[in-house]
Amino acid sequence: MKTVELSEATDSLSDYVKRARFETIVVTVRGRPTVALMAIGGNTDLENLIVSSDPAFRELIERSRARYPPGSGLSTEEVRRQLGLSKKHGRRRTRTSAATRRRASKA
């Protein structure tokens, strides 16, 4: 990660973008971090990036975390019990076609 003071940032934006492909560049104003330039890789979901940087979304997450601290929720088993669902065991069975069942019974 590289830090650049805004008043000393004399290169063109395109130069900083080229550098940001390899390392995050944090721009500071009077020593305080203000902006970061960082590469968006092939595995980055742009929608997730946009949502996660939305102040309203982050506020919603923080309210949820405060309201439901770790360990205060229901386990998957408890939810299944309350809904009257059986436990999930192993892999899901796939349905076999009638033709496949007929062939198996003739063998």
pLDDT of residue 51: 84
pLDDT in tens, 37-70: 988 877 777 887 888 889 999 999 999 989 988 8
Reduced to 3 states (helix: H, G, I; strand: E, B; else coil), residue 2 is strand
Q: Is the model more confident about 105 or about 73?
A: 73
In angstroms, how far is CA 33 from the centroid of its own chain? 24
Distance from first CA to last CA of the chain, Å, rounded? 66
Query: What confidence tier does 33 reach under pLDDT thresholds 50, 70, 90?
Result: very high
What was the pLDDT predicted at 96? 64
| Dihedral angle of Cα 29, 53, 56, 61, to the nearest 10 degrees | -120
